[in-house]
């Protein structure tokens, strides 16, 4: 099912964003609350036939039975964490979602037109849904990165920025332009990547940059220059670049600490890529999120066995790419840093 843009624009204004708000269920009223755009029960899927852009979405979760509902959209983007509801009670939640083509990785398949939302969880209950175009001035967080960051198309792979939208209320749109296999070299060279993202950036928008995992043969001078080009390209648009050091690989020494080379993203030429990124951030006066240090502390605290669950070790013997659990935790680290450094307003952070 679909809804025209005119219908979307006519939807009643969404209430001010905030925490999920308990309300009493209104039996019999759900049919008039946007559910004609939705099908299924577990999960419930909803489609809105809208053009590319940012959209504010308000949902009412719950119903006659006890429920537990999560919300995702487009290419497996987490928009609301799983939320329990008591029988006969509902809660309101809202968020802003980026709709574009391709809807996931920039070099991947186009995906479906319009806005697609999925209501899943252990017992999904959807009472109502409202969608309207967001204000043209809605702040955006652009994300530039690789496969550890991107909107991964298929489980169990999950990039940390795929989980990031759930940490923001209505009023902030996360546009994830990370792409599998990219280095600073390829992200600058491919016209589908930085050349496409750069003109979209508006004054005040954030651009998070985490590229390092695939710079395996990039020399230090080139890596430094490429980071400087990305920073300059964001700034010339009036945007605010933020350098994000790469997540660690789960590669342990015998003593339970992470290996200083493979795990901490030192490349085949001996270049300490996170170290260079820290230097560029200091020299260019760019905000830095030291995700390498934060993820190192988390992985070492769990140890060799318990840390497997953050990555895809059990499923794929993969110590680089994160599980949903790991991506969600690492996205939380990014959220914390954005909030604590004053890069996003606290009022829009969950």
What gap in Å lies between CA 346 and CA 199, rounded to an integer? 27
Residue position matching structure tokens 């590669």: 251
pLDDT of amino acid 276: 98
CB 39 within 8 Å of CB 45: yes
Relative orientation angle of helices 273-284 and 220-236, to the nearest 10 degrees: 40
The average confidence (pLDDT) of the chain is 92
- 70: Cα separation from own chain's centroid: 15
Closest CA to 276 of 234, 231, 322: 231
Please state the φ and ψ torsions of residue 81, each to the nearest 5 degrees.
Answer: -65, 160
CATH code given to domain 140-348: 3.40.50.1110
Domain with CATH 2.60.120 in the chain: 5-133
CATH code given to domain 5-133: 2.60.120
pLDDT of amino acid 32: 53
pLDDT of amino acid 34: 86
What gap in Å lies between CA 105 and CA 110, rounded to an integer? 9
> Which two structure tokens, joined as six digits, stand for 305?
């066995």
Classify residue 324 by its DSSP letter.
Answer: H
pLDDT at residue 308 is higher than 70: yes
Per-residue pLDDT band for 41 (boundaries 50, 70, 90) equals: very high
Average pLDDT (130-139) is 96
42-98 pLDDT per residue, tens: 999 999 999 999 999 999 999 999 999 999 999 999 999 999 999 999 999 999 999
Average pLDDT (291-298) is 98
Per-residue pLDDT band for 6 (boundaries 50, 70, 90) equals: very low
Domain with CATH 3.40.50.1110 in the chain: 140-348
What gap in Å lies between CA 151 and CA 102, rounded to an integer? 11
Percentage above 70 pLDDT, the chain: 91
166-217 pLDDT per residue, tens: 999 999 999 999 999 999 999 999 999 999 999 999 999 999 999 999 999 9
Average pLDDT (135-142) is 96
Indicate the range of 33-42, 278-287, 336-345 predicted with least confidence: 33-42
Residue 333, SS3 per DSSP: helix
What residues contact residue 122 under an 8 Å CB cut-off, 6+ apart? 68, 82
**Sign of the C-alpha dihedral, residues 349, 240, 283, 220?**
positive
pLDDT at residue 24 is higher than 70: no
98-126 pLDDT per residue, tens: 999 999 999 999 988 999 999 999 999 99
pLDDT of amino acid 11: 35
Average pLDDT (134-149) is 97
248-268 pLDDT per residue, tens: 999 999 999 999 999 999 999
Give the CA radius of gyration of the chain: 21
Classify residue 246 by its DSSP letter.
Answer: P
What gap in Å lies between CA 37 and CA 39, rounded to an integer? 7
pLDDT at residue 341 is higher than 90: yes
pLDDT at residue 21 is higher than 70: no
């Amino acid at each position: 099912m679909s809804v025209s843009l005119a219908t979307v624009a006519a939807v009643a204004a969404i209430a001010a964003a905030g925490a999920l708000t308990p309300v009493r269920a209104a039996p019999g009223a759900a049919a008039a609350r946007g559910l004609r755009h939705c099908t299924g029960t577990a999960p419930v899927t909803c489609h809105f036939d809208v053009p590319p852009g940012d959209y504010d979405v308000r949902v009412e979760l719950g119903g006659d039975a006890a429920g537990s509902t999560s919300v995702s959209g487009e290419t497996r983007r987490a928009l609301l964490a799983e939320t329990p509801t008591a029988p006969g009670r509902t809660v309101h939640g809202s968020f802003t979602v980026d709709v574009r083509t391709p809807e996931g990785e920039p070099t991947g398949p186009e995906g479906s037109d319009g806005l697609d939302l999925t209501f899943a969880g252990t017992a999904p209950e959807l009472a109502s849904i409202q969608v309207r175009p967001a204000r043209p001035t809605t702040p955006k967080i652009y994300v530039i990165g690789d496969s550890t960051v991107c909107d991964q198309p298929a489980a169990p792979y999950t990039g940390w920025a795929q989980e990031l939208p759930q940490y923001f209320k209505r009023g902030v749109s996360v546009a994830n332009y990370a792409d599998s296999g990219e280095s600073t070299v390829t992200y600058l060279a491919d016209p589908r990547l930085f050349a496409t993202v750069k003109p979209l950036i508006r004054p005040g928008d954030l651009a998070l940059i985490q590229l390092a995992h695939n710079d395996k043969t990039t020399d230090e001078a080139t890596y430094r220059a490429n980071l400087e080009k990305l920073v300059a390209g964001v700034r010339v648009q009036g945007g605010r670049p933020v350098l994000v050091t790469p997540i660690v690989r789960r590669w342990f020494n015998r003593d339970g600490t992470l290996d200083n080379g493979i795990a901490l993203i030192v490349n085949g030429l001996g270049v300490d890529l996170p170290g260079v990124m820290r230097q560029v951030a200091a020299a260019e006066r760019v905000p830095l999120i030291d995700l390498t240090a934060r993820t190192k502390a988390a992985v070492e605290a769990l140890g060799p066995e318990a840390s497997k669950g953050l990555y895809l070790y059990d499923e794929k013997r993969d110590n680089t790419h994160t599980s949903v659990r790991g991506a969600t935790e690492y996205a939380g680290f990014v959220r914390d840093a954005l909030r604590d450094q004053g890069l996003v307003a606290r009022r829009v952070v969950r």
